[in-house]
Amino acid sequence: MSNTVYLVSSSQGLIDYWARVPALAHARHLAQARLLDDTDPVQEALILLDIPDGSEHVALYARCCQHNRLLALSSHPNDTEAIAWLRTGAAGYAHALTPLHQLAIIIDTLGGGGIWIGRDIMQQVCRHFGQRLPSEASWSTRVSGREAEVVEALRAGLSNKEIARQLGITERTVKAHLTSVFQKLGVSDRLQLMLKLIDTGH
């Protein structure tokens, strides 16, 4: 991933706000039309996009998401919109006025190849993708019995606290099992886990 970072918004105030994050201090401002220009496509960059009004715009950014790490930022975030952007290929979704310290964490996560969405949306996405996984699959032979139970709970969209309650274990133990599963299957978070299990068909 290139160190090039673009801030895309029609609001100079929002651009100035984002630029207060040290990692974004020298980012370039880019017009939305330029971002979608087929004759001179932006590639290998981290892009913070102030989402245009109207869901019809989402599909227009699919090509951009294929060649860049795109963080979709909404002034009125909602679960439906978040899932739509993730399906398009965005690497993250958050509130446009996310507190600066949190935005810095998000940028670091995306820069390291991770994916960022809120906790509630993450549970919905895990439930959405988890329903597409086969009940019996070869991945389960690569983890312990208890770890497999944790993965099954993720498929239902449960939080760590809910998983702990369902399995009669502590949240700390749930986190330990998840860490072990991520290491064994070569992923870094819940969403990557769901996507990998779907993509491999195993």
5-117 matches 123-200 in fold = no
Residue 77: is its pLDDT beyond 60? yes
Of these ranges, 14-23, 59-68, 127-136, 137-146, the one predicted with the greatest mean pLDDT is 14-23
pLDDT for the residue 101: 93
Was domain 123-200 assigned CATH 1.10.10.10? yes
To the nearest 10 degrees (0 to 180), the angle between helices 119-130 and 145-155 is 100
In this prediction, residue 56 has a pLDDT band, given cuts at 50, 70 and 90, of: low
Residue reference for tokens 């690569």: 142
134 Cβ contact partners less than 8 Å away, ≥ 6 residues apart: none
User: Contact, 66 vs 89, CB < 8 A?
Assistant: yes
CB of 117 within 8 A of CB of 5? no
- Return the H-helix or E-strand segment holding 154: helix 145-155
Closest CA to 42 of 57, 22, 27: 27
Tell me: the pLDDT tens digits for 122-169? 777 777 766 766 655 667 788 899 998 998 888 888 888 999 999 999
Domain limits of the chain? 5-117, 123-200
- At residue 1 the predicted structure's pLDDT band, cuts being 50, 70 and 90, is very low
pTM equals: 0.68
CATH number of 5-117: 3.40.50.2300
Q: According to the model, what pLDDT value does residue 198 have?
A: 67
Given this model, what pLDDT does residue 135 score? 59
